[in-house]
Each structure stands twice: as C-alpha cells, then as structure tokens.
Amino acid sequence: MCGIAAYAGRQDTVTNILTLMIELQHRGQEASGLAVASTDGEVHSFTNRGTVLEILNAENLLSAVQIRGGIFGGIGHVRYSTSGPFFHYSAQPLVVGNSRYRIAVAFNGTIANYTELAREFSMDRGDGDSTVFANLIYRLAVEFDRDVVEALRVLPEYVVGGYSVAVVTSEPRIVIARDPRGFRPLAYSFTDAEFYAASETSALDAVGAGVWMEVLPGEVISFDGKALEVARASMAECVAPCIFEYVYFSRLDSVFNGVSIYRARFEMGRELAKVAPVEADVVVPVPDSGRAAALGYGRESGMPVEEGIVANKYVGRGFIAPPPVREVVSKLKYGFVKDVLNGRRVVLVDDSIVRGTTMRSIVSRMRSVGAQEIHVRVSSPPFRYPCFMGIDVSSRDELLVWRTVYEKDIAKHVEADSLGYNTLKGLMRATGLATFCAACFTGVYPFGDLKLEDLERMFVR
C-alpha cells in the first residue's frame, strides 16, 4: 500500500505536493519522493528513504525552487513495499525516458505479473513491480506517439493486479488513472486552472483543494495546465474496491466509493457485537484503526468504551512496517492505562489479525497491568489468503490463520480468553457496497480464471 499525490497550478507546487504527501503518510513510511516537470520540458525527481519530513532537507528544496523555466506541476509518493527489497534506496516516483521525452510514475498497488511482463518486453526487473510498471507505461506511450493517456487506456490489457497511478510528463502534463476494477482509491479537484489529486479525499480536504471527485474505476484524467480531459480504459471489468481500505488502510475522515470510512468502521463494530457478543465490563479499542469499530461495538452492546491503550505516534503503523522491525514496532508502539484495565473484563476491538505479532504483544501487556479477562473481537473476517493487489501479504505462510486452524487455537496463540470475528455479510451491510474485493478473506480473486496458485507462481517477492 502506498500514497500518491499530484498538483499543478499557480501556487507553490513543491509545498502543495509535500503537504498532500504528509496527509498520506499513514499509507507508507519506508520512502518518500516527488517529481516535478518544468515548463521547458524537463522532469526532476527528489527521493529518499524515510518519511516526508525526512526528505524535506535544504538541498532538495533548493534544487526544486531553482529549476530552470519554472515548475509546471508534479507528483508525490509515500512508499510501503509490496514487492522488491525492503529499505531499498530507489523510491518512487520513478523517472524513465530520454532527453526527448521523459515521464515520472508514482503508483499505489501491486502488479502481480510483473516478472512475466519483464520477460515479455525484455525489461530489467529492477526493484520489483514499480520498475516494470513505469517502463511499461513509457513504452506504451512511445508506441502511441508519446501519448500517456492512450498508454493508460490500454494498460489494463497487459497487467494483472491493482493500481492507482499518477504520471507527470515532460510535455508537460499530469495524468492520473485507476484500474478498471477500482481496487485502490484516488480523488481529484479541478478549479480555476488548478489541479489536485491524492490517494484519499482527506488529504484534499486538508489542503483546501475545494470540491473533490473520486476517479471512477477505469477513468484516465489528464491536465495540461489549461483544460481537463477525461478518457476511459479500453476494457471494462466488474468493480471490486479493496475491502481492506475500509477495514484498515484509509483514514477515518476519508471517503472511498462514496462511503464514509468512519461510518463503515462504526457499522462494522455494530455488526461484530451482533455476531460475537460477550459479557464484559468495558470495550477498549486498539488505536487508531480499531477505534471506530469499538465505538460501534459499544453502541450495539451497551457497554462503555474507554481508551485503555495509548499509541506512540512516532513509531508508525505496525502492519506496514518492514519485517525486520515489525516485532520491535509492535512492542514499542503502545502504552497501557492501568486505571482502565486493572481488574476488569475487557473486550479488545481491533480491525484485523494478519500475522498475530501485534495482538499477542498487546494482550500480554494488558495482562501485565491487571486485566482480568481479555476477549478479542475483530471487525473483519479471518485474513486467510495473500493479496496481489497492493497489500504486503504475498504468501500464505505469513498468515496466522494458516498456522492455527480454529478460532480457539488463534485465541490461545494470542493469549486471549476468547476470540470473535465479523462476517463477510457484516462487512457488506456495514459498507453498503454491492460488490468489493474480499480475496484476502475468501480466496476468490477477481481475475477471471486465475486462482491463488496461479497468482503465487507469477508473483515473485
């Protein structure tokens, strides 16, 4: 999972892109970068490991403001690796091309068949799917006489996976698009010759971008500094937005496919209380992504909701931490309020259990401060299958459910007194969506005849 942003207009381009990126930092913390196009046909990039604030150094900012000819606009990216090596210096946006025509590409998602594409087009796999993806877009654009819009229109004919993408070209032009299934969020605002785009609507609200619109599945939107053009992908698919965006990834104040993330998670909590009730004294959320579901659970069950866990904001999100530091993050991220937990029967509400590392650490710490009983309740169904569309779980071996078959075994593993999950029907009622991708829960992937084993064979970490 990553975050992408774009801006073109009369204001300070670099400041606007960086502000959008900061608002999207929850979507990726491994690396950050921005690329800008100058009005004289050049594309410049500035990337580094770490968060957005860590690339805000004097050298990068000075280089950006001294670009010859002025800045037309640009794109930004915050990285959470889903393929390729962790902690690799090469971050997005990736710049490809030559002196006559260059583009920079930033995307959110995963291209499952990138190794096949690399072989078919004789491309270097580089750092993973992002390298292949950027080079494929460039090659298609060149075939269509440097037309990135046409390249993105036909892109779904080549790739298996999910993506939302932002491209800035040396023309100059900014082009954004979502895949035809609409796995990943993307929204934009266009007013008075100013163009904003971001992975989440909350980022556009934060910068005062005005009235925003979500990019529809399969839409390709182009801005050349004067006019906005909208095109459609050459092929249509059944719309299948990622259900995990509603469960965990997106910010509470965002909207995805017209659905409030806050309202969806609150309703997930209410549905959870119906299917997994328990007698207890207090409902405690795992911050921050479990908070809205805990409020819903408390509303439906009639139990009070109290903040018994305090999150360390400087550690980051444990789920998207790279494997070498994931366990360390899970231990350092939370503090526990003894006054809330001591001697009480607790319903502990979280959004999901994927690998089990964080939950086991939390339950152990809660017992150490005196919790009498701990009943874990999860606002989503069991996470059973790997994802090949933008979540960093590409192997069944990573999943706790595959190592512990029964709920009682999972409860024992995380040292809880009991464990209860939501249902897929509960998620459907909570979001109000008629269709969505829930392959991580069901193992049914929206790629025609491609099954789990097919995707595992084509996807190389």
With b meaning 16 or more CB within 10 Å and e meaning fewer, what string describes 227-251?
A: eeeebebeeebebbbbbbbbbbbbb
Phi, psi values for residue 146, rounded to 5°: 65, 40
- Alpha carbons within 13 A on the beta-carbon side of 14: 21
Residue 96 is classified by DSSP as E
Q: How many whole angstroms from its chain centre is CA 89?
A: 20
Residue 330 is classified by DSSP as H
- Which residues carry out catalysis? 2
- CA distances to 78, 86, 322, 330, 333 from 326, rounded to whole Å, are 18, 12, 6, 6, 10
d(CA 1, CA 16) in angstroms, rounded, equals: 22
- Alpha carbons within 13 A on the beta-carbon side of 431: 26
Cis ω before 392 (30° cut-off from 0): no
d(CA 80, CA 447) in angstroms, rounded, equals: 24
**Spatial CB neighbours of 313, under 8 Å, sequence gap ≥ 6:** none
Query: Do residues 45 and 29 touch, judged by C-beta distance below 8 A?
Result: no
Total length of the chain: 461
Phi, psi values for residue 190, rounded to 5°: -140, 110
Q: How many whole angstroms from its chain centre is CA 400?
A: 21
Beta bridge partner(s), residue 178: 164
d(CA 46, CA 49) in angstroms, rounded, equals: 11
- CA distances to 234, 397, 445, 457 from 439, rounded to whole Å, are 25, 16, 5, 17
